[in-house]
Structure 1
Amino acid sequence: MTGGVAAGDRERRIGLIQLVALILLFAAPIVASWVMYLTGWTPSGRSNHGTLVSPVVPLPKAPLTGWDGAAVDLADRDGNWLMLLVMQPPCDQGCRDRLGAMARVHRALARGRLHVDRAMVLLDPHPPADAEDIRARWPDMRFLRADEGWWTQWDPVLRGISGDGIAGRLYIVDPLGNLMMQYAPGQPAMEILEDLRHLLKVTQYH
């Protein structure tokens, strides 16, 4: 009887150890990335091009509204990273150039692109007149309007990070739903690509 109890305890301990090992296996890459970025240390000695959001800021809870009128929850990303672009209306040629640059960065990530989502918020409560054309050109991107949820929850959070100059900025959101890095308008796409490649590498999504 004692032997059976001991064997059962041993099996439970082994199961617990295996569970902890699995948790560490999946959590370690994220923890490692934060240690590297928040301390500024990396094995190669490289530094990031974007500006770190320190401390990181959780995404607001309010869902947003897509150009098609559907509710969009940016927290629903299956553990992916997110590139979030904020633009002033109208979505003119400069806006389209930024969307094209994001698409090129995304393609250049190769397999890593499967772990990076993209979204753009146009600071207008209504979709642009050419919304269908834009969505058709970039079908795998989420396009959002600045609805009440944006102005009451999202706008104050981003202004707390960037001040008044949020238009034109690109934000990086980690798989845990935290705003962790931002890029100024006009920052070279190659610098964004290098940072994303590094993030995917240290989180083993490459």
Structure 2
Amino acid sequence: MGTAINPSETAHHAAPASRRRGRLQLILILLLTIGPMVLATGMYTLKFWVPESRSYHGELIGNGPTRAELGVQTDEQRWQLLVTAPQTCTVACQQLVYLARQIQIGLGRDASRATHALASAQPLDADYVARLQREYPQLQRYAMDVPAYTRGGQGNGGAQLWIIDPHGNLVLRYDPSVKGKDVLNDLRHLLKLSNIG
């Protein structure tokens, strides 16, 4: 005759194995939920595994400065390519104005989501004003408050091109040597990510 199996003995051996499996599952669940947060916190505080590359071409502006800190007052509600000229609008400034218009045109179907503008501290040359009226009919022009611009500390004294979001926050800054394709790619990327403006 075969040996009879005692059901209580089988249950006794199954219980520790079941408990071990349950503990292992609990540990795995905790690792999967808390682990990424601990890893991300460690990466941020200890600065490890942080990629050195960046996907934008201009200088990223942080800490929330606004267009008002450039000495420009407007309630524009779209993305804006703003050229600032804290002195006279020289050749470099005029090149950036041209570039801003070309970038807006280059946006294609998204062109209506952005504007291009010039903020100058000095009155513009009469010939240049006539040219702007003739060739840049959609260009917005603003007077620039130089003391506010200087106080804001965002500029370098020369002409610059800025990408500004619909809330008036400064996002990226470019100097006159920038390539138009780089600015266009940056703005396209921002428009793709943004659900405002």
TM-score, normalisation: structure 1: 0.60
- Alpha-carbon separation, structure 2, partners of 1:113 and 1:174: 14
2:126 maps to 129
Deviation of 1:196 (Å): 0.2
Richer in strand (by share):
1
- Alpha-carbon separation, structure 1, partners of 2:105 and 2:61: 25
1:184 maps to 175
Query: Which secondary structure state, in structure 2, belongs to the residue aligned with residue 161 of structure 1?
Result: coil
1:156 maps to 151
Instruction: Provide, for residues 165-206 of structure 1, a one-character-per-residue CA deviation record: whole Å limited to 9, x for no partner.
Output: 242211111111111211122111111000000001011479
2:67 maps to 59
- Alpha-carbon separation, structure 2, partners of 1:182 and 1:62: 12
AA partner of residue 154 (structure 1)? Y
Cα gap change, 1:103 to 1:62, in 2 (>3 Å): closer
AA partner of residue 194 (structure 2)? T
Structure 2 residue 176 is matched with structure 1 residue 168? no
Question: Gapped runs of 5+ residues in structure 1?
Answer: 1-44, 65-72
* Aligned-pair identity (%): 24
- Alpha-carbon separation, structure 1, partners of 2:119 and 2:70: 14
Instruction: Provide, for residues 69-89 of structure 1, a one-character-per-residue CA deviation record: whole Å limited to 9, x for no partner.
Output: xxxx42x22x31111112366
Question: Gapped runs of 5+ residues in structure 2?
Answer: 1-52
Q: Is the CA contact 2:86–2:159 (under 8 Å) kept in the aligned structure 1? A: yes
- Return the index of the structure with the highest Cα Rg: 2
Q: Is the CA contact 2:118–2:142 (under 8 Å) kept in the aligned structure 1? A: yes
